[in-house]
Structure 1
């Protein structure tokens, strides 16, 4: 699994002009799933993200987690994270897991975040979504379950 993490002061996802997920301070997550990913990959990433100290303390140092600042998560599935652009001009998405594999693992990942005490809003798997955020910092990180 691969997750792009963006620290934000607000974020929302819209489908067909309806806001289906919205947060204030927290983390915007773009989540990609590949063929060999398993629940242990989702467990690892949920644990890492919940404890990742990327929010500033009173001294201005990144010393607090999303849990510490009582932030929320906006999690959006993003198969394009597994695009292969090495050949030609059109990305190849063969490394992205098929929806019947990716969707249950994406949902499991979100549930693991909730079990850690986080409020998790989501997009709609497989839908055309408009995603917007106010990036705070900006702070953007990439995490992968397999190195």
Structure 2
């Protein structure tokens, strides 16, 4: 499982001209799922996401987590995070899970994030054509892959 975590001043997701998610200070998390992902991958990533210290303290040092600043989270499924670009100019998405595997894992990811974070997690709509807007604060963007945790 691969995520891109962006510290945001605000973020939103629109589907078919309808706002489906909207937050202020917090994290926008893009989530890519592959067939080999398990609950162990989810647990590790969720722990990292909610505890990673990328928010500034009173001395302008990144010492606070999203929990510490009472921030919000939007999670958006994004199969293109597993794009293979070694050959040619058209990315290959062969490593990205098909919906029958990805949807249950994505739902488990969201449920785990809600349970551990203690706040409602907003989401995009799996498989939809989403318009994601964000004001990246910093900019701060962190890439994490549960297969590279050692």
Q: TM class, shorter-chain normalised?
A: over 0.9
Shift in Å at residue 118 of structure 1? 3.0
Q: SS of 2:121's equivalent?
A: strand
The Cα shift of 1:70 comes to 0.4
Match of 2:90 in 1: 90
TM-score using structure 2 length:
0.96
Counterpart-to-counterpart distance in 2, 1:122 and 1:72: 11
Alignment of 1:146 with 2:142, yes or no, is no
Residue matched to 2:111: 111
- How many correspondences in the alignment? 147
CA distance in 2: counterparts of 1:39 and 1:141, whole angstroms: 21
CA contact (8 A) 1:28 1:74 kept: yes
Shift in Å, 1:89: 1.2
Q: CA deviation at 1:119?
A: 2.8
Question: In 1, Cα distance between the equivalents of 2:131 and 2:102?
Answer: 20
Q: What are the equivalent positions in structure 2 for 1:1-147 lying under 5 Å apart?
A: 1-116=1-116, 117-147=118-148
Q: TM-score, normalised by structure 1?
A: 0.98
Contact 1:32 / 1:77 at 8 angstroms: preserved in 2?
yes
Q: Which runs of 5+ in 2 are unaligned?
A: none
For the aligned residue pairs, the C-alpha RMSD in angstroms reads 0.7
Q: How much does 1:35 deviate?
A: 1.2
Looking at structure 1, the residues matched to 87 and 119 of structure 2 have their Cα atoms a distance apart, in angstroms, of 40
For the residues of structure 2 that align with 1:31 and 1:141, how far apart are their CA atoms? 12
